[in-house]
Structure 1
Amino acid sequence: MSWLLQQAFDLSCRTSTCKSPSLSGNPYMCNNECDASTQELAHPPELMFDLEGRHPSTFWQSTTWKDYPKPLHVNITLSWNKTIELTDNIVITFESGRPDQMILEKSLDYGRTWQPYQYYATDCLDAFHMDPKSVRDLSQHTVLEIICTEEYSTGYMTNSKIIHFEIKDRFAFFAGPRLHNMASLYGQLDTTKKLRDFFTITDLRIRLLRPATGEIYVDEQHLARYFYAISDIRVYGRKEELSEHKFGDSILIHNECLSVSKWGV
Structure 2
Amino acid sequence: MARLYLDEAEAVEQRRERRIDRRAVAWQTILAAAVTSVVVTAYIFVFRADSSAIQPLLFLLIIMSQISAGMGERHGLLWRTPRSKSWYTVFTVALAVAVIGSFFFILLTPDHGPFWFSWVPGAIFLIGFGGLGLVQLWKARGSERAVRESREPLPLATRITTAVLGVFLGAATLSIGIRGDLITSLVMLVLMLIVVGWLFAWMTDAGPAALGRYWRWPQFGAYGVSMAAIIWLSLRSAYGDEVALPVKLGVGALVALLMIGSALLPEQKHVPAANEAR
TM-score range, shorter chain: under 0.3
Give the TM-score, by structure 1 length.
0.24
Structure number with higher relative contact order (C-alpha < 8 Å, ≥ 6 residues apart): 1
Q: Which has the larger radius of gyration?
A: 2
In terms of fraction of residues, the more helix-rich structure is 2
Greater share of strand residues, 1 or 2? 1
